[in-house]
Amino acid sequence: MRFIPVAQLEPGMITAKAIYDNSLLVTAANQTLTPKMISAVRRGRLQGLFIYDEYSDYEHLQVIVNDELRYRMVKELKDFNIDQVIYLTNQIVDSILQKKSDLLIDLNALAIYDNSTYQHSIDVTTLATTCGVGLGLSVQNLQYLALSAALHDIGKQAIPKAILNKEDALTDEEMELMRKHPKIGYEMLYNNNNISSYVRSAILSHHENWDGSGYPNQLKGTAIPIFARIIHVADVYDALIKKRSYKEAYSYNDSIEYLMAHCSDMFDIECVKSFIKYLVVYPVGSTVMLSNGKQAHVIKNRNTSVTRPVVMTEDKTVLDLAYDLDYLNVSITGFA
């Protein structure tokens, strides 16, 4: 499959994955794009679509949250149906633990969804829980972490859409209101007996910075709850890689560099290290340059060899860069 930016979509292209926009299904996978569908996508908030190509049948993309689970989660978050959100986040934890021996986050499996708060919450749940696995959290703690991540921005339900989706810089008053969302989320869940105090504290503190410059309570270092420190990393990373009303999407690698550059002021370095460990370097579907001067297409990643995935050359030869002895002196030099 190939990621095609919205401006370059053409009738006749076939979708490689289902398309959701603003959390609604636009079309299923394996559908031929029509001019009408393309216009609908262009009016929406997607950056582009994954299109079926000659490599699609060979690709192995690890998907942690499938489309059905994603769709249900968005609905329950929107309806503030907490019991169902707990049930579904536990399913995400199970899905991650089942893949534990070869766990990795292929950003192409999640960065294609629109940038609405609910889709963002699901992706932060996946990213944060995976990071928690790397930190050795117990299953119970992973469930608390996943639930905190799913609900971290629930307080935005109380913020006017005009402010949430504003393209220009927010005024001081609007910014002040926006910064209330952690506290609002904390309060929305305060009387719910099914929500642990760990979850509420994580929601309240997910914008605190390691050096005490965050909000709402300017907590510092390990005084910030561990779930909040993890969610902060996942939240910022997911915001960077996606297009927002006020900014373009950053590349995956620039976004990783941003996390590393802010280890001392924004983030807990241990959380950043664990987070990065599971991110693929060359997502399935990307075209890369090899050191022998040829181009190749990434078809499979493994968490034991993230810089040396399985690739397919233009003449359809499959090269396992980690294990193919004839290609041990060939490496990837970058994206094509």
For the bound state, the minimum distance from the C-beta of residue 118 to Fe ion, rounded and expressed in Å, comes to 13
Site for Fe ion contains 208 (CB under 5 A): no
Query: Is the CB of 2 or the CB of 206 nearer to Fe ion?
Result: 206
Assess contact for 108 and 283: CB atoms under 8 A. yes
Stretch that binds Fe ion, among 138-146, 151-159, 169-177, 298-306 (CB under 5 A): 151-159
For the bound state, the minimum distance from the C-beta of residue 239 to Fe ion, rounded and expressed in Å, comes to 9
Query: Is the CB of 45 or the CB of 181 nearer to Fe ion?
Result: 181
Stretch that binds Fe ion, among 62-70, 90-98, 147-155, 168-176 (CB under 5 A): 147-155
Query: Is the CB of 21 or the CB of 153 nearer to Fe ion?
Result: 153
For the bound state, the minimum distance from the C-beta of residue 236 to Fe ion, rounded and expressed in Å, comes to 10
Name the residue type at position 264.
S
How many chain residues bind Fe ion (CB under 5 A)?
Answer: 1
Site for Fe ion contains 153 (CB under 5 A): yes
Distances (CA, A) of 225 to 25, 30, 172, 232: 36, 44, 28, 11
Buried b (16+ CB within 10 A) or exposed e, 63-74: bbbebebbbebb
For the bound state, the minimum distance from the C-beta of residue 22 to Fe ion, rounded and expressed in Å, comes to 19
CB nearest Fe ion: which residue? 153
Cα(89)–Cα(3) distance, integer angstroms:
28
Q: In 3-state terms, what secondary structure has residue 21?
A: strand
Closest CA to 258 of 278, 233, 228: 233
- Distance, C-alpha 44 to centroid of its chain: 19
For the bound state, the minimum distance from the C-beta of residue 153 to Fe ion, rounded and expressed in Å, comes to 4
Contact residues for Fe ion, defined by CB under 5 A: 153
